Copies of this chain bind each other. A is one copy, B any other.
Amino acid sequence: MKSRLHVPSVPARPGEEPDFSYVRLSPAGAVPRPPVDVAVRDTVHLAEGLVRVLDGSHQAVGPWDPRLAPDVLRTGLREMLLTRIFDDRMQRTQRQGRISFYVRSWGEEAVSVAAAHALRPGDMLFPSYRNQGLHISRGIPLVDLMCQLLSNTRDMCKGRQLPVMYQSVPKRLFTISGNLATQYPQAVGWAMAAAIKGEDDIAAAWIGEGSTAAADFHHALLFAKVYRAPVVLNVVNNQWAISTFQGYAGGEQRSFAASGPGVGIAGLRVDGNDFLAVHAATTWAAERARAGHGATLIEHVTYRAGAHSTSDDPSRYRPKDEFPAWPLGDPVERLKQHLIGLGEWSDPRHAALSEELEATVADAWKQAMTYGTLTDGPRLDPALMFEDVFKEMPPHLEAQRAELAAERAAGAAGGPT
């Protein structure tokens, strides 16, 4: 009895050489840029190709070049670098036991930061847990992010969420869910509401390629198609979903962007480590949405350079040091070299910037710690636990709150509650 069940192949396992030959590339500038009202079926090849702007020598080429001012590029570089430094610092902090959990976006900074710049401040963002660049680009103070990570007295979520599940109403960053993909149809519904109200703001959402397997991905694409919702739907294909290679999400010999035209919305496959390409693709999709031509599914081809989270050890399932072999490089390095090539940046300026940002992060961390940690006070009042289940507290929760208060009053004497 022999199995003929096909199981997707994984290019390289621990101990083997990294092998990225499966990644279908096209040269920078090779993919045409159609007008934003192009018919969906004419995006099939865009969904299979790879929109790239930066070429091998870090020059911007081709029709997708967004021609951004050097100042914009420098801001983008700064925010990507800040994201990376913030990530590194928080990772180390978790290792030291100061926070319970962390998720880095190492290697994927362009996906978030470039998109944030291509969208308008009024556009509503529905991030996944690996989009800290969105929060940083939108100007959420680092201290606020850190206080969330610490679940301390200034935690924007009042201690209710795991680290990394940030949010901001004024900056239009939707509360992150620990359940994968659920925010995707919500983003589409948000966009439908904008259309119903006749408002110009659009929505944008992000999920990992692994999460495209979830039902909500399908619902989102379908509703976006049916109602032509003004939304930009991003799939961050960083090749891995914890230990599971993207082939198990349907990525074998197929692009994730192809789901767009499959369902009837535009699709774009983009070099996710190319700040300019991500910016250009997002701009195109946002214009398309705002002009009433509907949604675009953008696949950002990138690589998860680090572990899935602080609970994960990728050396168990993939070769160490794959990142240097990743054919699309490092987004920070590529934008830096582009700016240097333009004469708008230099190694010394970069080193100074790094130093400045390290200091910024360190200062923020010091400040955040003064508002408490999970283990050291001050702490949020545990009675907060009973609030916001409903707008007004019903009697059974009032009773439970009283019970806890009595327990804590009594427990001052005894052991743990």
CB-CB < 8 A to A48: which residues of B? 41
B residues less than 8 Å from A218 (CB atoms): 215, 217-218
Nearest CB to that of A216 among chain B residues?
Answer: B215
As for how many copies of this chain the complex holds, the number is 2
How long is the Cα–Cα vector from A41 to B257 in the complex, in angstroms?
A: 13
Question: Which of A146-203 touch B at CB < 8 Å?
Answer: 192, 195-198
Query: Quick check: is A399 within 8 A (CB to CB) of the other chain?
Result: no
Contact check, A258 vs B261: say whether CB atoms are below 8 A apart. yes
CB-nearest residue of chain B relative to A292? B4
- Asked whether B198 lies within 8 Å of A4 as measured between CB atoms, the reply is yes
Q: Do A1 and B198 touch (CB < 8 A)? A: yes
Interface residues on A, range: 35 or more
Contact A2–B250 (Cβ < 8 Å):
no
Q: Which residue of B lies closest to A254 (CB)?
A: B264
**In the complex, which residues of chain B have a beta carbon less than 8 angstroms from the beta carbon of A294?**
6
Once bound together, how far apart are the Cα atoms of A238 and B260, in whole Å? 24
Q: Which of B2, B40, B198, B213 contacts A3 (CB 8 A)?
A: B198
Q: In the complex, are the beta carbons of B292 and A263 less than 8 A apart?
A: no
CB within 8 Å for A248 and B226 given contacts A3-B196, A48-B41: yes
CB 8 Å contact bits of A300-323 with B (1 = contact, 0 = none): 000000000000000000000000
A250 proximity list for chain B (CB < 8 A): 222, 225-226, 263-264
Q: Report the Cα distance A225→B250, complex, angstroms.
A: 6
CB distance from A374 to the nearest CB of B (A): 37
Assuming the A-B contacts A198-B1, A259-B262, are A222 and B213 also in contact, with contact meaning beta carbons closer than 8 angstroms in the complex?
yes
The closest CB in chain B to the CB of A264 belongs to B254
A5 sits at the interface (CB 8 A): yes
In A57-88, the 8 Å CB interface with B consists of: none
Q: Quick check: is A410 within 8 A (CB to CB) of the other chain? A: no
Q: Assess whether A253 is interfacial by the CB under 8 Å rule.
A: yes
Q: Is the beta-carbon distance between A192 and B258 smaller than 8 angstroms? A: no
Interface hits, A11-39 → B, CB 8 Å: none
A7 and B263 CA atoms in complex are apart in Å by 16
Min distance, Cβ A401 to any Cβ of chain B, angstroms: 36
Tell me the smallest distance from the CB of A119 to a CB of chain B, in Å: 19
Output the nearest chain B residue to A260 by Cβ-Cβ distance: B262
Query: Known contacts A226-B247, A258-B263; can you find 4 more A-B pairs with CB under 8 A?
Result: A6-B228, A218-B218, A250-B264, A253-B264
Across the A-B interface, give the 8 residue pairs with the lowest CB-CB distance, nearest first.
Answer: A262-B262, A215-B215, A218-B218, A6-B228, A254-B264, A5-B195, A4-B195, A2-B198
Taking beta carbons and an 8 Å cutoff, which residues of A are in contact with B? 1-8, 40-41, 44, 48, 192, 195-198, 213, 215, 217-219, 222, 225-228, 247-250, 252-254, 258-264, 292, 294
Q: List 20 A-B contacts (CB under 8 A).
A: A3-B198, A4-B292, A5-B228, A6-B292, A7-B227, A8-B226, A40-B254, A213-B219, A215-B218, A215-B219, A217-B218, A222-B249, A226-B248, A226-B252, A250-B263, A250-B264, A254-B263, A258-B262, A258-B264, A262-B263
